[in-house]
Amino acid sequence: MTPVGRADLLQRLSAQREACIENAPFLALLGALWLEQGDPGQALVWLERALLLEPRAQGARLDHALALARMGELDAAQTLYIEWQHKADVPPVVLHRLRAAIQGGAAPVVASAPPEPVSLGWRFSPSVSVSRGYEDNLDRSPTLSEIRLTPPEGPITLPLAVPIAPRKGQTWLTEAALQAHRSTGADTLWQTGLLISWRQVSQQSADDQRSVQFALGRWHQVGASQSSASEWIPSWLLSAWRIQNQISLGTVQGSAAANHHQARYLIAAESDWNWGPGQCVRRLEGEWTHQRYTGEALLSSNTPALTLAADCRRVNGQVWTWGAHVRWGQDQPLSAERPGGRQSQWSAGLRMALELGGRWGLEAALRSARLTDDEGFSPLLEGGAPRRQTQWLATWEARYRLSPPQSGSGSRWEAWVQWQHLRQGSNIELFRYNANTAYAGLRWRP
C-alpha cells in the first residue's frame, strides 16, 4: 500500500473507531496501519485495546511487540520470538521481523531469504537516577519531652533533660542499576541485577547510607494442563503458569545500629487472566529472609513470609494499571534475648498508575501494616504488654518523559517528583512517629 493510500485508509478508519471500539479485528488493523505509518505510540493505544478484547490475536501480538521494539522496549519481541521460533505454522518472514527487532534493526516487510537461527545471549539494561530531597524524620524518631514508666509500684512520668526530636535534613539520593536477562530455551529465562544506592545528608554524615544489592533469578513457564480429569479441576489451575526462583544478597552501611547484611530466597508462581475491564496477573510468592546486624546483634533475625498479589492493566485512550497485595510474615529473632520475641507481620496495599499520552505518568499507592510482638517488650513500658504497631504509608509520584516516545531515540530521560508520608502508631509511645519525604530528580535508562 502506498503512503497516500495508507493515510486515506487511516482517515476513514479513524472516523469509524467510536462505533467499532469493541471490535478487536478493527482495532488491530488500525494499530497495524499506525505502525506502518511510523507512529508506534499511536499504534500501541489501539493494539493494546485489541489484545484486551482478544488476547490470542496473533497478528495483534506481533504488531504490539514490534511497536514496543521501535520505542526501545525489546522484552515483548524477545518473548514472542522464543515462543514462536519452534512452531511449524509461523512463517519465516515473521521470525525474521522479530529477530530484526531484537537485534535493533528495521525489519523489511519481505525477507529476501529465510532467517538464520538467532542466539539470544545476555541483554543488558543499565539505569541511573539522581534526586534531591528533604526528609523531616531521618532517624524515624518520636517526639517526646517526657517518658511514662510503669514499674510494679505504679506509673511514673519522668521529664527528659534533653527532649527527643526527629532529625531533619536535605538529602541527595543516587541510584545506579544494571539488569540483564538471557533466554536458554523456549520456556526458560534467566535474570540478574545489581543495584547500588547512596543517600547523603547535608551536614549530618551520621545519617548517610550506602547499600548494594545483587539478585539472580530463573523463570520457567509451565504449559496449560491437558489432563483428562480437567472437568474436575478449576480452570485457573489449568492455565499456563510462570515459576520464579530468585536468590538475592545485600548489604547496608550507615549508622552503626543500621549496618546489616541480608540474604533472601524467593519462589513465586504467576499467571494471566482476564477480569472485568482489564487483563490481569495473579501471583503467589513465598520468601525467606535472613538479616544479620553487625552493630546491634539482637536485631538479627530470620523472616518467612507469604504474599498474594494481583496486578491489572487497561487501555482506554490512556493506560491504567492497578494492583493489590496481602502479605503475612513472622520475624524470628536469632537471639532469645531480643525484647518482644517473635513478631507477626500483616500488611496490605493498593496501587494505581496512569500513563497519559506516552509522556506523563502518575502513580499513587497506599500500604497498611500491623506488627505484633509475642512477648512483652519491657516490664517498665505499659506494664510489660506486648508491643503493637500499626503503619500507614502513602506515596504519590509524577513523572514526565523528556523525549517523545515516537522519536525513536534509544535512551530515555525522565523527570520525576515523589512525596511519601509514613505514620506509625503503637501502644508504647517510644515507637510512635510521623515521617515525610519529598524528592525530585532525573532518571535515565536506554
Backbone angles phi, psi at 226, to 5 degrees: -115, 30
Strand residues in 77-208 grouped as ranges (E): 123-135, 144-149, 156-164, 169-185, 188-201
* pLDDT higher at 383 or 132: 132
Please enumerate in sequence order all residues whose Cβ is within 8 A of that of 412, keeping only pairs 6 or more positions apart, or say none.
72, 401, 403, 444, 445, 446
Q: 397: how many CB neighbours lie within 10 A of its CB?
A: 16
pLDDT at 427 over 60: yes
pLDDT at 404: 63
pLDDT at 6: 62
**Which of the residue ranges 22-31, 139-148, 229-238 has the most confident prediction, judged by mean pLDDT?**
139-148
Distance, CA of 387 to CA of 378 (rounded, Å)? 9
286 with 328: CB under 8 angstroms? no
pLDDT at 240: 72
DSSP string for residues in 185-236: ETTEEEEEEEEEEEEEETT-GGG-EEEEEEEEEEEEEEPPP--TTGGGS-HH
Q: Which CATH number fits domain 125-445: 2.60.40, 2.40.160, 3.10.20, 1.10.10?
A: 2.40.160
41 with 360: CB under 8 angstroms? no
Stretch among 190-194, 304-308, 403-407, 433-437 having the lowest mean pLDDT: 403-407
pLDDT in tens, 224-263: 544 444 444 445 555 678 899 999 999 999 875 578 999 9
Q: What percent of the chain has pLDDT over 70?
A: 83
pLDDT at 329: 98
pLDDT in tens, 270-300: 987 776 666 788 999 999 999 999 888 899 9
pTM: 0.72
* pLDDT higher at 333 or 188: 333
pLDDT at 117: 40
336 grid coordinates: 532469645
Which pLDDT band, with edges at 50, 70 and 90, does 115 fall under? very low
| Crossing angle (nearest 10°) for helices 40-53 and 58-70 | 150
Candidates 325, 252, 239, 337; CA nearest to 293 is 252
Give me the residues paired with residue 413 across strands: 444
Averaged confidence pLDDT in the chain: 83
Give me the residues paired with residue 299 across strands: none
pLDDT at 56: 75
**Residue 402 DSSP class:** S
- The predicted model gives 54-67 an average pLDDT of 84
pLDDT at 166 over 50: yes
* pLDDT higher at 388 or 1: 388
Candidates 298, 322, 293, 295; CA nearest to 309 is 322
244 grid coordinates: 520464579
Candidates 379, 366, 367, 296; CA nearest to 338 is 296
pLDDT at 48: 82
pLDDT at 102 over 60: yes
3-state secondary structure of 9: helix
Which pLDDT band, with edges at 50, 70 and 90, does 334 fall under? very high
Which pLDDT band, with edges at 50, 70 and 90, does 35 fall under? confident
**Quick one: 32 exposed, middle or buried, by C-beta within 10 A (0-12, 13-18, 19+)?**
buried
- The predicted model gives 435-441 an average pLDDT of 98
Which pLDDT band, with edges at 50, 70 and 90, does 31 fall under? confident
**Helical ranges in 296-434 per DSSP H:** none
401 grid coordinates: 518523559
* pLDDT higher at 203 or 151: 151
* pLDDT higher at 266 or 222: 266
pLDDT in tens, 335-347: 999 999 999 999 9
Residue reference for cell 538475592:
248
108 grid coordinates: 523489511
The domain locations on the chain are 3-102, 125-445
pLDDT at 302: 98
290 with 263: CB under 8 angstroms? yes
DSSP string for residues in 89-113: TS-HHHHHHHHHHHTTPPPPSS-SS
Residue reference for cell 536458554:
184
pLDDT at 116 over 70: no
Give me the residues paired with residue 367 across strands: 349, 393
Q: What percent of the chain has pLDDT over 90?
A: 46
Counted residue by residue, the chain has a size of 446
Please enumerate in sequence order all residues whose Cβ is within 8 A of that of 88, keeping only pairs 6 or more positions apart, or say none.
none
State which fold the 3-102 domain adopts: 1.25.40
